[in-house]
Structure 1
Amino acid sequence: MATLVTASGCSAFGSDEPADLQVYSARHYGAEEVFAQFTEDTGITVDFLAGDDAELLQRIRAEGEESPADVYMTVDAGNLWAAADQGVLAAVDSPVLDEAVPKQYRDSQDRWFGLVMRARTVIYNPDNVDPSELDTEDTYAGLADPTWDGRLCMRGTTGVYTASLVASLIDLHGREKALEIVEGWVANDVRIESNDVLLIDAVDAGTCDVALVNHYYLARELEERPDLDVELMWASQDGAGTHVNVSGAGVVESSDNPEDAQALMEWLATDGQDDLVAGNQEFPVNADVPAEDIASGFGDFDPMPIDAEAYGSLNAEAIDLLAEAGYQ
């Protein structure tokens, strides 16, 4: 369910004194503080509506030209692609964004721009796993090997992370091979947890030897619990690279204030990058902005190229494949 949140002391939708910008945001990591800092820096006020990526996109489409939304912000490149493909987002002509956001993290027609990046990779318990066991050309496929029977933990199908990963595997290997990989996970009696923190706890306790998590969850936990018996390894470094995704945003086509909407996106990609990643350990897309200490301490890695169209167009097929394989 979508929830209205007011940043910087602004008024809510429909009031006599609306904010300058209305942001529909699926991003919840300190969003209110980020928008408040933007207002302090620029004087542009912001209200934001928090909700699920797909739910917010559907809401904008249902509202049509009367939508109050100026900016659509999501945590998945596939949803950004879908919004652009459905005509929800406007092309933006911005030398600032062109310079700040590398081409691989933005739409080819400049309708959306990635702002921060996350990697979904392997963690393991060093008491039970020799990292050489995971050092394969395709680490994700390698987890289907019977050697991991009863030793594997993963996230369920309800969140975007698993579907996007499987969509990338379909794009990389084709459906038949991707199905074989997921069936191998299931055959290994994969233990499903509802969130990444529970996955980290399971590996720390030795309940599972290996798991797939977004890197920043481990970084956050290590900040609070540096004695965790958990190590991170970048997946598939001898092959296609580690699966990555972006949180990003676009200006809504029907926006009444596209200039300020563009200003927000430019700020988020430049002066606001530090605020955007502060405390959450994601990777900034702007190469001039350093990652936070723990995340950068994981070391450099080769990412799998992001194919937003594949993540978006193959999402339904990925969900069907997971169901066919018996993945919960």
Structure 2
Amino acid sequence: MLLTKKYLLAIVSAFGLTIGLTAASPALSQSSQVLNLYSARHYQTDEALYAEFTKQTGIKINRIEADDNALLERLRSEGKNSLADVILLVDAARLWRAEIEGFFQPIQSKVLDTRIPKNFRSNDIGQGSQWFGFSSRARVIVYNKASMNPKDVDTYEKLADPVNKGKVCTRSGSHPYMLSLIGAMYERQGEAKTEAWAKGMVANMARAPKGGDTDQIKGVASGECGVALTNSYYLARLMRSTKPADMQVVEKIGLIWPNQATSGVHMNIAGGAVASYAPNKAAAIKFLEYLASDSAQQYFANGNNEWPVVKSVKTTNEALNKLGNFKQENISIASIGKNQIYAQKILDRVSYK
């Protein structure tokens, strides 16, 4: 626990706190027919998801949207006076950070325990889980088909091999997507090997880390980068685009599911929890159970190109289905989130910006 507290401020700083909200704050309230939702999801297709919940239950959703850091800062400021009922965040690193700061409360739900796999929810502390994953995405490798041999980049580990010197592009190492990937590597291979990998990645950079995942994909297509890491839904989004420029990008790149002969591809989630001081707890639990329903799981898949976490739900998203089947890494998302402490320390030691 001392280690957690010691490095928490460094982790928070690494995420780059943003105080302002990105949307006007609606009037929040307390009622059995109201749900106050704090959401870091900013996808227009989620509108239909929320509208369907209100249609099914009669519960009105008051929604505040902002990036993860702004929402957490708001929760810190509000303290016990917060009217938040449900908090939706993206990535294991962010969910873990919110959990250790005490923003969630454990809940017991047979629906969620049955439908959400154990590795996609927080560790049960005896009173139930504190958060649940409702959609998943994979951290995949994309490469330039004209300049790269896919056999040289078919695992995460090979990206740090000297053969790929001057070819690798990534976003900032301190971004939650990268922290979670490194946290997963730490979980399965330990500190020394993970640090050696991070050091090799720095040595192989085509340019300093910058931009988002779409920028990495476009950098590979342009030839600025030979290979890059991206979350799968960014690639699927480009695959579904009818814009000529996006279609040209997709034509120039190849996709690799990393580590298929060993550990499997790194998976992450978007998840949700009941807020610590939720005034409408019953409605909050009902909403989370709704997110695990077949219809809501399809919204996640078709709206933002994320895979359902409920195993029985088969997506109708053609872009996702076109990506094919792959072996997934079987590591607890909760462990990945916790390991971001060690991931950030490793990044600092090797000067991974």
Q: Describe the superposition over 1:27-52 as per-residue Cα deviations: whole angstroms up to 9, x where unpaired.
A: 22234442233223322111222233
Structure 1 counterpart of 2:193? 177
Structure 2 CA distance for partners of 1:15 and 1:80, relative to 1, 3 Å: closer
Q: Which range moved further: 64-73 or 190-199? A: 190-199
Is 1:260–2:283 an aligned residue pair? yes
Distance 1:117 1:157 in 2: 21
SS class of match (1:272):
helix
Aligned to 1:132: 151
**C-alpha RMSD of matched pairs (Å):** 2.4
Whole-angstrom distance in 1 between the partners of 2:321 and 2:147: 25
- The aligned residue for residue 3 of structure 1 is 21
Which SS does the other structure have where 1:92 is aligned?
coil
Q: CA deviation at 1:15?
A: 7.6
CA contact (8 A) 2:23 2:66 kept: no
8 Å CA contact 2:88–2:270 kept in 1: the answer is yes
Instruction: Tell which deviates more after alignment, 29-38 or 189-198.
Output: 29-38
Which of 335, 338, 346 is 1:310 aligned to?
A: 335
**1:286 corresponds to:** 310
Kindly provide the amino acid, as one letter, of the partner of residue 20 in structure 1. V
Residue correspondence of structure 1 range 124-273 to structure 2 within 5 A: 124-135=143-154, 139-191=155-207, 192-224=209-241, 225-227=246-248, 228=250, 229-270=252-293, 271-273=295-297
Q: What is the identity, as a one-letter code, of the residue corresponding to 2:43? A: Y
Partner of 1:12: 26
AA paired with 1:210? V
Matched, 1:117 2:136: yes
> Take 1:64 and 1:260, find their aligned partners in 2: how far apart are those partners?
21
1:204 maps to amino acid: A
Aligned partner of residue 123 in structure 1, secondary structure? strand
Alpha-carbon distance between aligned partners in 1 of 2:81 and 2:112, rounded to the nearest angstrom? 27
How far apart are the structure 1 equivalents of 2:337 and 2:307?
Answer: 22
> TM-score if structure 2 supplies the norm length?
0.83
- Given residue 72 of structure 2, which amino acid in structure 1 is its aligned partner? L
Tell me the TM-score normalised to structure 1 length: 0.89
Q: Which residue of 1 aligns with 2:3?
A: none
- C-alpha distance 290-111 of structure 1, shift in aligned 2 (>3 A): same
The answer to whether the Cα contact below 8 Å between 1:163 and 1:319 also exists between their aligned partners in 2 is yes
In 2, Cα distance between equivalents of 1:111 and 1:117: 18
TM-fit CA distance, 1:154: 0.9
Amino acid across the alignment from 1:170? Y
Aligned to 2:10: none
Paired-residue identity, %: 35
Q: Is contact 1:80–1:248 with CA below 8 Å preserved after alignment?
A: yes
What is the count of residue pairs matched by the alignment? 321
Higher share of residues assigned helix:
2
Q: Does 1:27 align with 2:16?
A: no
SS at match of 2:314: coil
Gaps of 5+ in 1: none
Check 1:173–1:18 CA distance in 2 against 1; reply closer, same or farther (3 A cut).
same
Native 8 Å contact 1:4 1:48 kept in 2: no
Specify whether residues 26 and 306 from structure 1 end up closer, same or farther in structure 2 by C-alpha distance, changes over 3 A only.
farther
- Once the two structures are superposed, what CA deviation does each residue of 1:125-156 show, in whole Å capped at 9, x if it has no partner? 22222322233xxx112111111111111111
Change (3 A) 1:2 1:13: farther
Which of 61, 80, 105 matches 2:95? 80
- 242-251 or 57-66, which moves further after superposition? 57-66
Cα offsets for 1:223-262 (capped at 9, x unmatched): 1134421121111111211111111111113111111111
Letter in structure 2 aligned against 1:172 = R
Structure 1 stretches of 4+ moved >4 Å? 14-19
Unaligned runs of 5+ in 2: 1-18
Answer yes or no: is the 8 Å Cα contact 1:12–1:19 preserved in 2.
Answer: no
